Amino acid sequence: MKIFVAKHGGFCFGVTRAIRLAIEASRNGNEVYSLGQLIHNPQVVDDLFKKGIITVNGLRQMKNKNVIIRSHGIHPSVLEKLQKENFNIIDATCPRVRRAQQFVEKLVREGYKVVIVGEKDHPEVRGLLGYAGDKAVIYSEKIAVKEKRIGIVPQTTIEISRLQHAITRLIPDVLEMKIYNTICYETIHRLKEAQDIVKKVDVMIIVGGKNSGNTTRLYEMCRAVKPSYHIESESEIRSRWFRNARRVGITAGASTPREQVKKIAQYLRKLFRSR
Ligand code: F3S
């Protein structure tokens, strides 16, 4: 049995940075509150909780004023509220997401209708909408844009094909289209590597939180090609998945620690040795 482990699996730069900032802020024993899970990975969230980094869904649940902004960023109205109420803000917005927010602001200033290509309920997309004064639209097959000058900003973790699709679909209706490619290259490498691995294996394992958008996308992409399983931990692995398999691939989303991927690989090696 051969196991192929993706080199680009594991925490991305933005998530690593957010976790480092949260841990540093909680070091003096003060609790730090994250508005929504700091990272879409239940094991890591539990671990952070033990370090005093607590997930809340609203400001009322906080016992002090230390608040961390997730790598996805935040709606500017929430940021303003935090600033007005003198919160101690630890801003872990990924610099690449911040860049996308700045592009949205720029497009609005220049009079373009902003079209965001992304998942409507993703926190990053909600934040981007906020930076357009909630006047942007989220791309879908059915949208009809009346404006003749549009500016496209993709979510950082979206597949390139979705951006390409939006461009092709909208270009006949406009006079001018400005496109900012804000897709994070970590996302591109991760998807590309998973595409290469899935072609040469019989079964693919995708490790990461079931609530993680980018992990779910990796899973969807892999399962369209080969039998694939999305797991959060080794306890979910079933030996029957590998009955006729000779090659297994492992990849992980941006919110999965590298150690978790290594643990799964070790577990599989053990499992295959015992067969
Ligand atoms: Fe940032 Fe890219 Fe991660 S945008 S949060 S480094 S996937």
Ligand 1 proximity of 158 Cβ (cutoff 6 Å):
no
Same domain, 191 and 223: yes
Same domain, 232 and 161: no
Closest ligand 1 atom to residue 156 Cα is: 4
Same domain, 169 and 220: no
Closest ligand 1 atom to residue 157 Cα is: 7
By most ligand atoms within 8 Å of CB, the mutation choice from 11, 19, 91, 97 for ligand 1 is 97
Domain range for 100: 96-183
Same domain, 100 and 179: yes
Closest C-alpha to 72, from 143, 2, 156: 156
Going by the DSSP 8-state scheme, the letter that residue 235 receives in this structure is: G
Closest ligand 1 atom to residue 71 Cα is: 5
Q: From its phi and psi, is residue 86 left (phi > 0), alpha (psi between -120 and 50) or beta?
A: left
Same domain, 133 and 166: yes
Residue bearing the CA closest to ligand 1, atom 2: 184
Ligand 1 proximity of 26 Cβ (cutoff 6 Å):
no
Q: What is the pLDDT of residues 124-139, one digit of tens each?
A: 999 999 999 978 999 9
pLDDT at residue number 187? 85
Backbone phi and psi for residue 85, each to the nearest 5 degrees, phi listed first: -90, 15
Helix-helix angle 213-223:185-200, to 10 degrees: 30
100 CA to centre of ligand 1 in angstroms: 11
Among residues 157, 183, 209, the one where a domain terminates is: 183
Ligand 1 proximity of 187 Cβ (cutoff 6 Å):
yes
By most ligand atoms within 8 Å of CB, the mutation choice from 13, 20, 128 for ligand 1 is 13
Ligand 1 proximity of 119 Cβ (cutoff 6 Å):
no
pLDDT at residue number 275? 74
Contacts of residue 152, Cβ cutoff 8 Å, sequence gap at least 6:
114, 115, 116, 117, 139, 163, 166, 167, 170, 177, 178, 179, 180
Same domain, 88 and 32: yes
CATH number at residue 136: 3.40.1010.20
Q: What is the pLDDT of residues 232-257, one digit of tens each?
A: 999 999 999 999 899 999 999 998 99
Same domain, 33 and 71: yes
Residues annotated as catalytic are 124
Ligand 1 proximity of 97 Cβ (cutoff 6 Å):
yes
Number of domains in the chain: 3
pLDDT at residue number 149? 97
> In whole numbers, what is the pLDDT of the chain averaged over residues?
94
Same domain, 175 and 212: no
Among residues 71, 94, 117, the one where a domain terminates is: 94
Residue bearing the CA closest to ligand 1, atom 5: 14
Q: What is the pLDDT of residues 191-240, one digit of tens each?
A: 999 999 999 999 999 999 998 888 998 999 999 999 999 999 999 999 99
105 CA to centre of ligand 1 in angstroms: 20
Same domain, 82 and 148: no
Q: What is the pLDDT of residues 24-79, one digit of tens each?
A: 999 988 899 999 999 988 989 999 999 999 999 998 899 999 999 999 999 999 99
Ligand 1 proximity of 12 Cβ (cutoff 6 Å):
yes
pLDDT at residue number 67? 97
Among residues 94, 112, 128, the one where a domain terminates is: 94
Same domain, 103 and 121: yes
Q: Is the pTM of this model over 0.85?
A: yes
234 CA to centre of ligand 1 in angstroms: 26
CATH number at residue 75: 3.40.50.11270
Same domain, 171 and 191: no
Ligand 1 proximity of 38 Cβ (cutoff 6 Å):
no
Same domain, 151 and 202: no
By most ligand atoms within 8 Å of CB, the mutation choice from 15, 125, 181 for ligand 1 is 15
